[in-house]
Amino acid sequence: MGVLSTPAAGAGFGDPDEMVHGRPRKAWHRDRLAAQRYLLRLIEESGVDCDLQAGAVLLAPTKSNYQKLANTVEARNALYGTRDYAIAADALETEAGGNASDLFVGALVLGDTHHVQPAKMITGLATLARKHGATICERTDVVGLQKCREGTRVRTNGGDVVAQNVLLTTGGYTREFAGFLWNRTLGVPSIVAASEELPREGVAEMFPTGRVLLVNQVRGFSCRPSPDGSRLILAGPLAQTPRSPDADVQALKGYFKRLFPEVASMEFTHCWTGMIAATRDAQGHSGAHNGTWYSVGASGLVSCADAGRRMAQNILHEDATAAVADKKFSRWPLRNSEHLLWRGISLSARLSDLIGRSRLR
């Protein structure tokens, strides 16, 4: 989706000292801010051209949700060093067009959240990695791992590689050969679609400040203008097995047409699908299992970059405390009965969407 957000996924807003997933909320947010600033610093120092833009708007669908955001914004800014501020429904038209003022009761403007063109960012970082000696083998599938005297033999459809250290970051593409991870992750499609070229004045009316709009308070749906202001880009995680691009586009259009009615008649010329790794607690997990390092479930550019940095440090320093399996990394029930598991996930996601978008339905 290309959003480098400051809020920590799953931690929410509220009392900084409240325990969330076994840690104080402020610990999650501080870690997230440090991760985001690391990625921004990496982009700046490496000179990667990725259409970096600042600002996001977190739309609040209910009065209670808005009050929670507005009443705590100053305390959060002081605690985390951010520059967020709340706006009520009568000021929403300065940030979002369409039916935003009718559907939402206010918003939180996130001044330190950024968005990028993710393909350009990943291409730039891959180029940087190659300059530092990394070899990237595209379209190469890992089909097995085998312990050997030199370390681990990685079997691929392009030949075998022997490595002293192996790090599995297969995420939503994990296969049965890595049974420990396969039983604990599930590939969920994340969809991004771009419209045909539109009149720039029309796009500017939808996004007066050019900031990305975060629509759902529970799941990661967002919409934004393209960097040149000529297209509308919609994104969201769809709780379903992969379908056709046309079906994915229709699902996104169905979600966003209440906010921007003109979406219903727009043609969409591009659609991308990627599999994110869903874990039972929606958190990233890392460690080692049977001598192989792993890091999966870190969803989003910020989380993935930070997870990569931390795992590199663990491997380079041979951190024994990190070289164990994460005990909180739970198996998915019914992993071998995917039909039943998907039905449960789809129902749960629909309920989350109703809660998360409230009137936007």
CA pair distance 243, 336, nearest whole angstrom: 21
Q: What DSSP letter does each residue of 80-93 carry, written as one string?
A: H----EEEEGGGGG
Give the domain range for residue 28: 3-120+188-278+348-357
Q: What percent of the chain has pLDDT over 70?
A: 89
Q: Is residue 238 part of a domain?
A: yes
CA pair distance 359, 361, nearest whole angstrom: 6
Q: Is residue 341 part of a domain?
A: no
What confidence tens digit (pLDDT) does each residue in 207-264 have?
A: 999 999 988 655 678 899 998 999 999 998 765 666 788 888 998 998 899 999 999 9
Greater confidence (24 vs 239) lies with 24
Reported as type and span, the H/E element at residue 161 is strand 159-163
What confidence tens digit (pLDDT) does each residue in 86-128 have?
A: 999 999 999 999 999 998 999 999 988 888 888 888 899 899 8
Q: Is residue 22 part of a domain?
A: yes
Q: Residue 117: what pLDDT?
A: 87
Q: Is residue 99 part of a domain?
A: yes
What confidence tens digit (pLDDT) does each residue in 169-210 have?
A: 988 889 888 899 999 998 888 889 999 999 999 999 999 999
* Banded pLDDT at 350 (limits 50, 70, 90): low
CA pair distance 72, 16, nearest whole angstrom: 10
Within a 10 A sphere around the Cβ of 297, how many other Cβ atoms?
Answer: 25
Place of tokens 């968005």: 115
The total of structural domains in the chain comes to 1
Q: Which residues of 145-182 are buried (b: 16+ CB within 10 A; e: fewer)?
A: beeeeeebbbbeeeeeeeeeebbbbbbbebeeebebbb
* Residues paired with residue 87 on neighbouring β-strands, in sequence order: 107
Q: What residues have CB less than 8 Å from 340, skipping those under 6 apart? A: 334
* pTM of the shown model: 0.83
The CATH number of whichever domain residue 23 belongs to comes to 3.30.9.10
* Banded pLDDT at 21 (limits 50, 70, 90): confident
- In the predicted model, what is the mean pLDDT of residues 59-88? 87
